[in-house]
Amino acid sequence: MNITPDAIVYWEAGPVRITATLVFTWLVMVILVGGSWLVTRRLSTETTLSRGQSLLEIVVEIIQGQIRDVTQQDPARYLPFVGTLFLFIAVSNILAIIPGFHPPTGSLSTTAALALCVFVSTPLFGIAERGLGGFLKTYLQPSPFLLPFNIFGELTRTVALALRLFGNVMSGSMMVAAALAIAPLFFPIIMSALGLLIGLIQAYIFAILALVFIASANQAHQEQAQTASTNEKRTDHP
């Protein structure tokens, strides 16, 4: 049994390797892009909507509601990024019920890449809101001596996010494999249904955690900037 799809190599030539992680990651992306194109090519504003558009609007409204509840801000700013994270992880985990499909989220390299996207997006959202100089100043507040600790805090959040998703997906795969060894007929059906539910929950948790990390980091930086501005005004006007 392969614990991670990185261990499954389909083709190799020198340093170049095509693993199951790479193949199924591209497969999920093709499904998402193709499905999005099929659903959005004939959008309608009439009262009667297609099933695909109805499903799409329900998913978008649910994600928007969650973003609004967590950030207390306009969800349009975070919707493209957080929605993409959720759909990629959800589709990857749902397709795991298909025999022979190895979810790319079961690879530490994939979860690390997703967490790295969250890590990079955090300063990008901050820079878009306050500018490059204003964002970088927040790492020096309330004291320049805290710069290493502020950077270390960002890195630890990224590592924790990657390991959380990888551990959850890997444990789910091992549970199904153990069930197949114990009761190869009836029990795996229950475990597959349970795995489908857990996969959706994992996608939801990862997307919410990413949103919380981004929103809380930007809010903290904004509060630090406001505090520094207030202190400067008090110094200038005793």
pLDDT at 170: 64
What is the rounded average pLDDT for all residues in the chain?
78
- Entry pTM: 0.78
> What string of DSSP letters covers 155-222?
HHHHHHHHHHHHHHHHHHHHHHHHHHHH-SSSHHHHHHHHHHHHHHHHHHHHHHHHHHHHHHHHHHHH
Q: Express each pLDDT in 36-90 by its tens digit.
A: 888 888 777 777 777 888 888 898 999 999 889 888 888 888 899 999 999 999 9
Count structural domains, the chain.
1
Residues near 211 by beta carbon (within 8 Å), at least 6 away in sequence: 66, 67, 70, 71, 78, 82
The answer to whether residue 16 scores a pLDDT higher than 80 is yes
197 vs 193: CA distance, rounded Å: 7
Helix pair angle (108-138, 187-236), 10° resolution = 10
Q: Express each pLDDT in 137-169 by its tens digit.
A: 777 776 777 778 877 877 787 777 777 767 766
Q: Express each pLDDT in 196-223 by its tens digit.
A: 777 788 888 888 888 888 877 666 555 5
Residue 120, domain extent: 5-41+48-236
Name the residue among 169, 78, 204 with its Cα closest to residue 129. 78
Band (pLDDT 50/70/90 cuts) for residue 26 is very high
Enumerate the β-bridge partners of residue 12.
17
Left, alpha or beta for 13 (phi > 0: left; psi -120 to 50: alpha)? beta
